Amino acid sequence: MSITVYPARKIITMNAMQPEASHVAVRDGRVLSVGSLDDAAAWGTYTLDETFKDKVLMPGLIEGHCHLKEGSMWDMHYLGWFDRRDPQGKVWSGLRSMDAVVARLAEVEAQMRADGKPADEPMIAWGFDPIYFGGERMTVDHLDRASTGTNTKRPIVIAHANGHLMNVNSAMLKLAGITRDNEVEGVVKFAADAGANAGEPTGELQEPAAMFLVVRKVGDAGLLAPMTVEGIRSFARLACMQGVTTATDLVNKLTDADCAVLETALGDDAVGIRILPAFQAFHGTHGAALGAEHVKALIPRNTDKLRYGLVKMMLDGSIQGFSARLRWPGHFNGAPNGIWVMAPAQYEADFETYHRAGLLIHTHTNADEASEAAIDAVERVLTRAPRPDHRHTLQHGQMIDAPMFRRMASLGLCANLFANHLWYWGDQHYEMTMGPDRANRLDACGSALAAGVPLAIHSDAPVTPLGPLFTAWCAVNRLTPKGRVLGAAERISVPQALRAITLGAAYTLKLDGEVGSIECGKRADFCVLEDDPLSMDPMALKDVRVWGTVLSGRVFPAHA
C-alpha cells in the first residue's frame, strides 16, 4: 500500500515519548511514522503531500459528550440567550427578555400561516432558558400571547436549552390531556395564591416522565424525532468545522430504525466522523437485562466509524433548571431540591446488570447528591462484581468535590466534566443556584486531576455549541460573561486541557489505544489548525482557527 508523507508547520502528537514532530507518514488509514522527513522516508517510497505544510496538526478532537441532534436542531426555531451560528453560517441573535421570546414566536406563527401550514401543526422551538431573566418562569400566559387573536389551536412546545425541561401553551396542554388532576412528577402547577390559575398546570414540564406526556403527541414533529441520515451529515459538517473526528451520541434508543440510519450515514465515505452511540438505559426502555442483551448483540456490527457498546444512565436533572439533586445546603436561592430521573436503588440494580454484561456505562449526574449516589452505588457493585479497567464514567459531575474525586480515583471511575457551564451559566450558578462559595468548585478540573481521576471535558451539544477548543478555553480560564473567574485554583493548563479533549476523552471511551494521539499504529485522525494553541495566549484558545480534519487518512476541509 502507498505511503503519504505530510509535512506540517508543527505536529502536536500528545505522545509524551515524542511531543512534537515535523512530518507524519500515513499508510492504510493509520499513522506509520511520526518525526522528521528522514524518519518517514526510512519506510520506503512515499508521496509527499504539502497540503498541511503551513498548518498545525494535532490529534483529531474527541467530544465525549454530545448528541447527533446538534446537526438537526436548526429544523426548529432557536430561542437562546446567546447568539448562535447555524450550520449554514447564519448567526441568530440571542433573545434577552421574555417579551423578545414571545415576539419571535409570534413571528414564527405569522410565517407558518404565510406558508399555509395547518392551524393545528405544532410549533417547536429550542434553546430557551428562563434563568437569564432573573427568575421569572415562563407559563401558558406567555405562550398563549404568541398566538392571541391569530391562532389558538396551534400547539407550541418550547424545549429548554438544558434538554430537561419544556414549556407548552394551552393548546398543547389540552392536546396532551394535562389538567390540574395530573399526578405525574414534574408537571408544574400554579401556586395557591395565583387567583383563577391556582392549581392549574403552568405549562412547564420537568424531566422525561412529565415531558413524555407531550412528546408522545408531537414526537415526530421535531423534538424527539428520530435521527435522519441528513441530520448526521449536518452533524459531521459541524464537527469538521470544530476539528472533531470522534464524537458520542450520548442518548440513543438504538431501535432497528435508529441503527439503520447510523449505518447508512456512517457507511458513506463522504461522512467524516466516527460515532459512538450510547444506549438509553433509563426512562422508556424495558428492563436492564433486555437492554444489555440488545447492546451486546449490536457490537459485532461495529465498523471503523460506528461503535456500539456504550450505555447511558441518568440520575438527576439540570442545575440551572433546578431539577438536579443537591446535597445540603441545597439551592442558594431557596428553590426546592430537584428530581431523581431514576431512583438510586433502581440505578444500582440496573447499573449492576449492564456492568456484569461487560458494557461501558456513562452516568449523567449533575449536582453533588446525584454524584455521591452514583459513587456509592458503583462502590457496592464493584465490591460484589469486581471488573478490572471498567472505565465507567460520571458525565457532567459539575459539583463533585475533592473527597468525591478521591473516591472516584480509587474506584477507577472517570470524569467527563461540563466545562462549558463555566461560561454559559457561571454567573447564574454564582448568583442563583450554588451561590458565591460553591460556584468556585463548578466543574473542578483541577481537583479531578489532582486526585488522579482520568479527565475529559465536554459541550453536551446541542445544550451548548460543539467546539472542544472552546471547551478547553473554559477549563483553562474559568471566566464568566460578567467577568468573574470561578475558582481560579481549579484552572488547568493548556496542555492539560488539550489532553482532556483528545486522549482524555478517548480514555473514557476505551479508544485511547486507537485514537487521541498521533503515534505509530493509531488511526490517522488529525485536527488541522491554522494557529498553534501551545504558543498563544491561553485567553485566545477559543479563537484558534480550524482548517478541517483528517479521518483515517481521508482529508476533510471544513470550508471546501
Binding site for Zn ion (CB under 5 A): 250, 460
Which is nearer to Zn ion, 169 or 464 (by Cβ)?
464
What percentage of the chain's residues is helix, strand, coil (to nearest 5)? 35, 20, 45
For residue 215 the three cell numbers come to 412528546
Residues 6+ apart with CB under 8 A from 456: 62, 64, 65, 393, 414, 415, 416, 417, 500, 501, 504, 505, 507, 508
Min separation Cβ 412 and Zn ion, Å: 23
Which is nearer to Zn ion, 423 or 556 (by Cβ)?
423
d(CA 342, CA 15): 40
Min separation Cβ 529 and Zn ion, Å: 27
Residue 443's identity, in one-letter code, is D
Which is nearer to Zn ion, 422 or 528 (by Cβ)?
422
Min separation Cβ 285 and Zn ion, Å: 16
Give a three-class secondary structure readout of 461-503. CCCCCCCHHHHHHHHHHCECCCCCECCHHHCCCHHHHHHHCCH
Which is nearer to Zn ion, 169 or 366 (by Cβ)?
366
For residue 315 the three cell numbers come to 440520575
Min separation Cβ 61 and Zn ion, Å: 18
Helix 256-266 vs helix 229-241: angle between axes, to the nearest 10 degrees?
50
CB contact at 8 A, 408 and 415: yes
Min separation Cβ 67 and Zn ion, Å: 6
Q: What are phi and psi of 5, to 5 degrees?
A: -110, 125
Min separation Cβ 395 and Zn ion, Å: 7
Min separation Cβ 17 and Zn ion, Å: 34
Q: Look-up: residue for cell 387573536?
A: 149
d(CA 536, CA 243): 18
Element (H, E) at 231: helix 229-241
Which is nearer to Zn ion, 354 or 526 (by Cβ)?
354
For the chain, first and last CA: distance in Å? 27
Which is nearer to Zn ion, 63 or 460 (by Cβ)?
460
Closest chain position to Zn ion (CB): 460
Which is nearer to Zn ion, 460 or 519 (by Cβ)?
460
Min separation Cβ 209 and Zn ion, Å: 18
Min separation Cβ 162 and Zn ion, Å: 9
d(CA 355, CA 45): 48
Which is nearer to Zn ion, 84 or 362 (by Cβ)?
362
Which is nearer to Zn ion, 62 or 176 (by Cβ)?
62
